[in-house]
Structure 1
Amino acid sequence: MGPKLMKSIQVYEYGDIDVLKYEEVIVPAPNENEVLVRVYASAVLPIEWKIRKGFFKSFFPVSFPYIPGSSFSGEVIAVGESVKEYEIGQFVFGRNTKGTYTEYLTISEKELILLPNGLSFEDAVTISGGAATAWNALITEGQIKSGQKVLIHGAAGGVGQYAIQIAKQIGTEVIGTASTKNIEFVKNLGANQVIDYTKTQFENELNEVDFVFDTVGGKTLEQSWSVVKPGGKIVSIVEIPNAEKAEQLGVQAMKPSQLPSKEVFSKIANLIAQKKYKSTIFKSFSLHEAREAHKLSETGHGTGRIILKMNDSYKQ
């Protein structure tokens, strides 16, 4: 018999960080094709505080109360009767649409991925919404090629840190934009050039860029049109680029529409475990500190990923 109650973050209405309620709730029971996971870590993604504030409610409504979060890692502690691929005691990670700021969660076995040896729980949660997002935008849909000049905006962030490494491994010339305090961090990730956006307008420094990867949006995306060459690409994970402008300039522009596959998750997990890619954790919080984690995420100036650790006593 497993635990009957668990700690969880519940949100009952849109609002500021005070709507994140740390409460005790009933542990969910897995259906026949589901697995019950004891969560050890969860990522705190920027989209989560935007959802909490109601920025997307017109096209992405939520049902209250809800548990925030999507990226998790942990241990299988129970399996449904029809589950074939997983067993109790295995370490797993993945993306869960039912929320991850919680001590336990249920998830379909089809959506679960085994944690490879050498990959920590903390590193695993940087994949969904981070490494997998970058991989999908650059490789699966963007199809970057060796020898191209690639500009990455927000290069120090949870997505940008991986985008730099992925683009570099493909064999591109990588240029990143970052704030002053993050210049060395982005250089150490492998960028050929880093532009300090607090001091220099990148559009005055660059031209003939083959590929722009935008994780910022707004003014940054708008200014990117002037640096990409005809036949080049602009891919934004934040907003849909102006199709009319793209046609006028002879540029391909898109917002990725696919979710990364399990195969992509597994490939990236193994690359991190093999030290081919490096993950960076900006700061860790306990589950009851979710408000502080969201507050930090809203500043938008971190290096790497903010995470929640549900249990400090686990052994891996």
Structure 2
Amino acid sequence: MATTSPPPPTMSAVLVREFGDSSRMNVEHVTVPEVTSNTHVLVKVLCAGVNPVDTYIRTGTYAIKPTLPYTPGKDGAGIVASVGKDIEESDLKVGDHVYIDGPSSGTLAQFCLCDRSAVFKIDDGVPFDQAACLGVPSSTAYRALFTRCRIESGESVLIHGAAGACGTVCVQLAKRHGCVVYGTASTEEGRKCALQAGCKAVSAHDDLGSLNGVVFDVAIEMLANATIADTIQHLAPGARVGVVGNRGLADGVNMRDLMSREACVMGVMLGKSTAADRLETNKAIQSALQDTSLKPVVGASFEGLQKAGEAHDEVIAKRACTYGRVVVHVEQ
């Protein structure tokens, strides 16, 4: 193991000891994870991103149930603290700035253990809170647009929920690819955010008709049960719809409307990604960061691990901010 500044023996981390609401999240002192594998990386976490799915897992009602107790968090950003002996210094070294996508331990902690395949270098000039907006949102956006819907330059693309963590990345990646991007958002501040991200025009979720008769070659649904019925009415022939999120049955969907357009609705599940998918995705994300066509949008920020429960509540309720990513700044 190569290291220039050994991590301390203990750290602060959020632990969930029983499933339930956000009050089950408590900060405790625990042992810092050890680099026991030759391909392990220990990251000093400075910012952690919060996903809606993190809250579903915490309740114990999601299909994936971690062994209790566990530390939540699948995304984050920080500084490499230690690396396994098989990792070449030319590849990744102590002190490098990185973002995390799929760690071995949770990111709501002062240190996080990862396999090398889950750690991606960023330029030193990228703020850590912006880098913590990557991971699940950016990987989901890429999978929806490129792996599943296979967008092409020049196509018209609709992003429902264009102001959210995944939505803002969708907008920027689709525009970078040469698409004409439209969006929806629920609030005025959200619509302003979506326009700044690169949308040509933005409407309320239930007002696609205000987009002057545009039909869409591709549509990305963040809450399909609420919006897909109307989306179908505005699809071009042969359109593709990617369903990223859904919380119930979709009322008002007439399958004949899909038949007449020969349109396709497909699910998008990040968990189905292969190792090759992950590598392709994060290479593309790193490239977009480097050419500044991707600028992650930070929404509500919470200072300190003690605020992690509030951050979990915010990612669902959106009381403090209706756009961007919910981020927790991890005190060191």
TM superposition score normalised by structure 1: 0.88
- Can you list the C-alpha shifts for 1:90-148, whole angstroms capped at 9, x where unaligned? 22222114311111111112322222343222221212122232122112321111222
1:299 corresponds to: 317
Question: Could you list the runs of 5+ residues in structure 1 that have no partner in the other structure?
Answer: none
Assess, with a 3 A threshold, how the Cα gap between structure 1 residues 15 and 245 changes in structure 2: closer, same or farther: same
- Mean CA deviation greater in 61-70 or 249-258: 249-258
Q: Is 1:73 paired with 2:85?
A: no
Distance 2:60 2:117 in 1: 30
1:92 corresponds to: 98
Describe how 1:193-208 pairs up with structure 2 within 5 A: 193-197=201-205, 200-202=206-208, 206=213, 208=215
* Secondary structure in 1 matching 2:282: helix
* Secondary structure in 2 matching 1:127: coil
Runs of 4+ in 1 over 6 A off after TM superposition: 240-244
- Can you list the C-alpha shifts for 1:60-111, whole angstroms capped at 9, x where unaligned? 2221111111012112222233333433222222211431111111111232
Question: Could you list the runs of 5+ residues in structure 2 that have no partner in the other structure?
Answer: 1-5
1:253 corresponds to: 265
- Mean CA deviation greater in 42-51 or 254-263: 254-263
Distance 1:97 1:107 in 2: 5
* Secondary structure in 1 matching 2:157: strand
8 Å contact from structure 1 (residues 111, 262) kept in 2: no
Assess, with a 3 A threshold, how the Cα gap between structure 1 residues 32 and 170 changes in structure 2: closer, same or farther: closer
* Secondary structure in 1 matching 2:12: strand
1:18 corresponds to: 23
Aligned length: 308
Distance 1:90 1:174 in 2: 35
Match of 2:301 among 261, 267, 284: 284
8 Å contact from structure 2 (residues 203, 210) kept in 1: no
Deviation at 1:310, TM superposition (A): 1.2
Distance 1:116 1:267 in 2: 15
Describe how 1:1-316 pairs up with structure 2 within 5 A: 1-33=6-38, 34-56=40-62, 59-84=63-88, 85-95=91-101, 96-181=103-188, 182-197=190-205, 200-202=206-208, 206=213, 208-239=215-246, 245=255, 248-249=259-260, 250-257=262-269, 258-259=272-273, 260-285=277-302, 286-300=304-318, 302-311=322-331
Deviation at 1:211, TM superposition (A): 0.9
Question: Structure 1: which amino acid aligns with 2:141?
Answer: A
Question: Structure 2: which amino acid aligns with 1:276?
Answer: S
8 Å contact from structure 2 (residues 104, 112) kept in 1: no
- Mean CA deviation greater in 98-107 or 262-271: 262-271
Deviation at 1:204, TM superposition (A): 7.6
Question: Structure 1: which amino acid aligns with 2:46?
Answer: Y
Deviation at 1:244, TM superposition (A): 10
Distance 2:177 2:159 in 1: 14
TM superposition score normalised by structure 2: 0.84
* Secondary structure in 1 matching 2:165: coil
Give the share of equivalent positions with the same residue, in percent.
26
Assess, with a 3 A threshold, how the Cα gap between structure 1 residues 50 and 203 changes in structure 2: closer, same or farther: farther
